[in-house]
Amino acid sequence: MSKFLNKRFEFLEPYVPGEQPVDMEYIKLNTNESPYEPSPEVLSAVNESEMLKLRLYPDPDCGTLRRALANHYGVLKENIFVSNGSDDILNFVFMAFCDCGAVFPDITYGFYKVFAALNGVAFETIPLKDDFSIDPADYYNAGKTVVIANPNAPTGRALTRDEVETIINHNSGNIVLIDEAYVDFGAESAVELTKKYDNLIVVMTYSKSRSMAGARLGFSIASAAITRDLDIIRFSTNPYNINRLTLVAGVAALESVDYYRNCCRCISETRRITVDALRALDFEVIPSKANFVFAAHKTIDGGRIYKELKRRGILVRHFESERISRYNRITVGKPVQMDALCQALRDII
């Protein structure tokens, strides 16, 4: 740290992303990317004529994309906020709506506590139940901004829409943020509830189910007033934070409904087969509604499994935090990748 760094960042511990190795080719099951390419519509939208326009700034209003998203989700353009990945939106929410503090589960997306620290937000964590599920009642009348990933990461467990609704209507004086990064893999979305509740923000991303982690595109659906607030923050930091190629790719992806539905169906089916295979190898597997599974072997330590898999060219995600150190989070890839995973696990065991 240089002597010039602002004191408020002295103890900031940055988020540690999953490894993105360049030394060799791994079977990469560690950052929940899609194993499938972007749709044909996306590939043809990002063409030479769009590249020639790169000399021009992108549309700061992102009007075409916001209208297309509004149309897709049955809301109005005024309800759609878009930004450079959903992490960007989460940061803005901690910046904009958390003077009251924030609350989230003890085991959840690791970025929440980093954004809280970055923005000087006091936060409380509530332990998941023993089976890693969330008890909605734990979040009633929180008196703080409630942040819940649904499905949760890294557990993969999901709340029903009705459970989410009880959290929202027991917090009418505070914002409830539902992070739906993984919702397309089998959970119930809370988007409809944004029409009924003015304290709800649903955050989604193109990174997982739409195979565009590298394009950096996220969006939120909320009341027009909340959406305007978020745009004030975006226009006060970087109004051009979504590049032209990502804007056209984002619109084109919405034309590929069947393609992406089929990708999600393949991933759900591969997940089901993987869960069975892992259980047959003596793993405890948490029931998942996401594109990953969270699994602990009955006798072999999680860190050991992570290392042995890496030695065999397979990357999964291991978290050191005590409560989950027996587990690994394993992205659901293509069937051949999961076969290789199971073969390597058999070898290790």
Ligand X SMILES: *Cc1c(COP(=O)(O)O)cnc(C)c1O
Q: Which is nearer to ligand X, 186 or 297 (CB)?
A: 186
Peptide bond into 154 cis (omega under 30): yes
Instruction: Pick out residues in 131-160 that bind ligand X (CB under 6 A).
Output: 149, 153
35, 38, 58, 85: which one binds ligand X (CB under 6 A): 85
198-213: burial string, b at 16+ Cβ within 10 Å, e else:
ebbbbbbbbbbbbbbb
Least separation in angstroms between CB 33 and ligand X: 9
HSE-up of 213 (CA within 13 Å, CB side)?
A: 14
**Cα dihedral sign for 221, 222, 226, 228?**
positive
Instruction: Tell whether residue 230 is a contact of ligand X (CB under 6 A).
Output: no
46 contacts: CB under 8 Å, gap ≥ 6: 245, 248, 249, 252
DSSP structure class, residue 130: T
Q: Which is nearer to ligand X, 93 or 305 (CB)?
A: 93
Which range, of 57-65, 184-192, 205-213, 302-310, touches ligand X by CB under 6 A? 205-213
Least separation in angstroms between CB 295 and ligand X: 17
**Secondary-structure percent of the chain, ordered helix, strand, coil, rounded to 5:** 45, 15, 45
Least separation in angstroms between CB 213 and ligand X: 6
Short-list 48, 6, 13, 39, CA closest to 212: 39
Q: Which is nearer to ligand X, 32 or 199 (CB)?
A: 32
Instruction: Tell whether residue 109 is a contact of ligand X (CB under 6 A).
Output: yes
Q: Which is nearer to ligand X, 157 or 297 (CB)?
A: 157
Which range, of 84-92, 134-142, 189-197, 267-275, touches ligand X by CB under 6 A? 84-92
What are the C-alpha distances in Å from 83 to residues 34, 118, 152, 317? 20, 18, 22, 26
Burial zone of 176 (CB within 10 Å; 0-12 exposed, 13-18 middle, 19+ buried): buried
Least separation in angstroms between CB 108 and ligand X: 8
Instruction: Pick out residues in 160-199 that bind ligand X (CB under 6 A).
Output: 179, 181
Instruction: Tell whether residue 207 is a contact of ligand X (CB under 6 A).
Output: yes
76 contacts: CB under 8 Å, gap ≥ 6: 70, 224
x-marked contacts with ligand X along 251-280 as a string, rule CB under 6 A: ------------------------------
Task: Centre a 10 Å sphere on the Cβ of residue 118 and count the other Cβ atoms it contains.
Answer: 17
Instruction: Pick out residues in 8-47 that bind ligand X (CB under 6 A).
Output: 32
Least separation in angstroms between CB 3 and ligand X: 32
Q: Which is nearer to ligand X, 79 or 108 (CB)?
A: 108
Q: Which is nearer to ligand X, 38 or 85 (CB)?
A: 85
How far from chain centre, in Å, is Cα 50?
Answer: 28
Q: Which residues make up the interface to ligand X (CB under 6 A)? A: 32, 85-87, 109, 149, 153, 179, 181, 205, 207, 213, 218
